[in-house]
Amino acid sequence: MIRIDVEKTFPAIRIEARFEADTRGVVALFGRSGTGKTSLVNMLAGLLRPDRGRIEIDGRVLFDSASGIDLPPEKRRLGYVFQESRLFPHMSVRGNLEYGMRRAPRAERRIALDEALDVLGIGHLLHRRPRELSGGERQRVALGRALLASPRLLLMDEPLASLDGARKAEILPFIARLRDAFAMPVVYVTHAMDEIVQLADTLVLMDEGRVAAIGPVEDLTSRLDLRPLTGRYEAGSVIATTVAGHEDEYGLTRLAFPGGELRVPHVDAEIGAAVRVRIRARDVSLAVGQVGRVSELNVIPGTVAEIAAPAEGQRQTDVDIRLDIGVPLWVRIARRSLAELGLAPGVAVSAMIKGTSIDRLSLSRRKLDERTPMGDEEAPTGRLP
């Protein structure tokens, strides 16, 4: 369990952050720039001292102002991956990786070099220098170096922010493999919702130095009251599903959820595998009454659960609606459509979602089994299933 209760005053912001989160999986800190995400991670790492408070990970106190405890970074046994790879330029890839391994006492080394090379796909890069690597390759090596130090917790501060779209799409699957193969607990800082969907289990929403909300990704992304924090344009719902079947003839996969099924572009996963789906609010249309033949692959019955009030003093052309389709679904339509359809809480509707609107960054495979965090005697070896 991660327990944080810290305060720190800066010239431009005061951080008063308090939350608890399970160390299983990925805890994502999400919010606009300047909300204190990086400062909070630096306090965890021991790079920044809180004015007051306490930081505890799995019962081990890293900082406690009342007791005078303030472990130095090297004693905290936390890994840190920054926006820039920060590899040693005079060392080869092998040298950088072995440096990380030497940071862990031999008796506490949980991950072998070969295992890290396999999961991160960097075995062919061992003799290169950092200047000879692409941005994505450098970040994968930085991940490997941090991983081989066998940290109790891995901190990642916007590790993809400096990469272009192609390199970002390249490295995301490797971070997911790291999470699943080694059951490595991660605190992940980002302002990109697609990274949240791909990687995170628990979402911590930060606003002006405070924790505004914390909970499962699926819950927080569907709450209309959190719209200002989750981002309005890219906002939408995240739904937990399982693979129900494949339609190979059309390149589609059927995903089951409590309210029915979704058809999405093919997912390379076995029947019964867990898949998380992000559906943007702007990609959903609504219909009242009988729906005829339409091009949308997904027509799902539901009920209007909530209609968001317009922002005070603003003239908005659209409106946000939360549907109940067995799970919450966030929809955005024109205010005129709201009036013409006569929508109100309790009205039955059909939600129509294009299968082509759900891209591969909107789909994330998940593990169904409970994972054992690093440091436990039953931690896995790191081999992929």
Q: pLDDT at position 149, please?
A: 86
Q: pLDDT at position 376, please?
A: 37
pLDDT band at 349 (very low <50, low <70, confident <90, very high): very high
b/e 114-129 (16+ beta carbons within 10 angstroms → b): ebbbbbbebeebeeeb
Q: pLDDT at position 372, please?
A: 35
pLDDT digits 0-9 by tens, 269-291: 999 999 999 999 999 999 999 88
Q: pLDDT at position 377, please?
A: 35
State yes or no: pLDDT of 36 exceeds 60: yes
DSSP bridge pairs for 238: 278
Closest CA to 365 of 279, 250, 298, 270: 270
| Strands 153-157 and 186-190, sheet pairing | parallel
- Structural domains in the chain, CATH included, are 2-220 (3.40.50.300), 236-366 (2.40.50.100)
Q: Which residue spans within 22-88 are E strands per DSSP? A: 26-30, 52-57, 60-64, 69-70, 78-81
pLDDT band at 379 (very low <50, low <70, confident <90, very high): very low
pLDDT band at 314 (very low <50, low <70, confident <90, very high): low
Residue 50 near residue 8, CB atoms below 8 Å? yes
Backbone φ, ψ for residue 375 (5° rounding)? 100, -20
d(CA 195, CA 203): 11
pLDDT band at 381 (very low <50, low <70, confident <90, very high): very low
Q: Which residue type, as a one-letter code, is found at position 117?
A: L
- What is the value of pTM for the model shown? 0.80
* In the chain, % of residues over pLDDT 90: 49
pLDDT digits 0-9 by tens, 181-240: 777 788 999 988 888 888 888 999 999 999 999 998 888 888 888 877 876 656 789 999
